[in-house]
Amino acid sequence: MRIDVDPAGEATGPGGLLHEGVTRTLGIEIIDGVWEIGQPQTLEDIQGRFNVSRTVAREAARQLETMGLVRTRRRHGLVAQEKSLWHVLDSSLIDLRLHSTRREEQLRSLTHLRLAVEPAAAEGAARNGDVHARARLMPLASELRRLGEAGELTEFLQVDIDFHRTILALSGNELFAALSDIVAVVLTGRTELGLMPPRPQPEALDGHEAVAEAIFRGDPATARFAMQAILDEVRDAVVLPGSPT
């Protein structure tokens, strides 16, 4: 792994700060099964492999442990853990899984989670949201159409994240609102992995406008139905032929 040092003397790697690059490499190796369950690595192993300081190795280890990917054992160092012990709702872990060889599996799981949550969140937003806050969705949906039809996917992504964050926040359910970062990660992942068409489908743009209008009008049933239609399209896009649904 290449190591660079910025003018201030801060070690950096391909993904930014060096410990983040080390964390990313090791985390994906655990997810992919390259670093096998139960196999230990010491801080010294990490230092030698990546040519980093003990401080950097320790911070990478701390991040891996926070995600539940490893546990620390005395005299053994870091031991890779089985998936049942991972903190699967940690947005950093979700991002790693989306960039691993198991990305399709993660996308399916996240899409199923969104199918369970976001229609109910749209219904709740129409029922519970302040009218002025609900009105924010209308210009966001219009901007999504403009950016989508222009094929400006980077800008489209940011507005799409804002659109879905707003609905989750307006739902009246603090647990739904807490999933905002996860939805942002999966939307970003679809774009980064090239799973978005060059221009969003007209049906998806229509769907966002339908959700925004129903929420603004305070129509819970229509808001739920319209959000369900959006996510059905997402499900069809990410579930591969022959994959379990």
**Residue range 91-117: average pLDDT?**
93
Kindly state the greatest CA–CA separation across the chain.
62
pLDDT in tens, 136-184: 999 999 999 999 999 999 999 999 999 999 999 999 999 999 999 999 9
Do both 221 and 167 map to the same domain? yes
pLDDT for position 27: 98
pLDDT per residue as tens digits for the range 7-47: 333 444 443 458 899 999 999 999 999 999 999 999 999 99
Regarding whether 137 and 181 lie in a shared domain, the answer is yes
Domain assignment of residue 55, given as a range? 4-85
Average pLDDT over residues 120-134: 96
Residues 159 and 212 in one domain: yes
Q: Which of 31, 53, 85 is the last residue of a domain?
A: 85
The residue among 85, 108, 125 that closes a domain is 85
pLDDT for 222: 98
pTM: 0.84
Same domain, 64 and 99: no
Residue 191 covered by a domain: yes
Phi/psi zone of residue 172: left (φ > 0), alpha (ψ -120 to 50 degrees), beta? left
pLDDT at 243 > cutoff 50:
no
Identify the domain boundary among 59, 85, 111.
85
pLDDT confidence bin for 68, thresholds 50/70/90: very high
Give the confidence band of 123 by pLDDT, cuts at 50, 70, 90: very high
Q: Residues 175-223: pLDDT tens digits?
A: 999 999 999 998 998 888 877 788 888 999 999 999 999 999 999 999 9
Measure Cα distances from 233 to 34, 73, 81, 203 in Å.
34, 45, 35, 9
What gap in Å lies between CA 28 and CA 126, rounded to an integer?
A: 40
Residues 124 and 196 in one domain: yes
Specify the CATH number for the domain of residue 54.
1.10.10.10
Report if residue 243 sits inside a domain.
no
CATH of the domain at 132: 1.20.120.530
The number of folded domains in the chain is 2
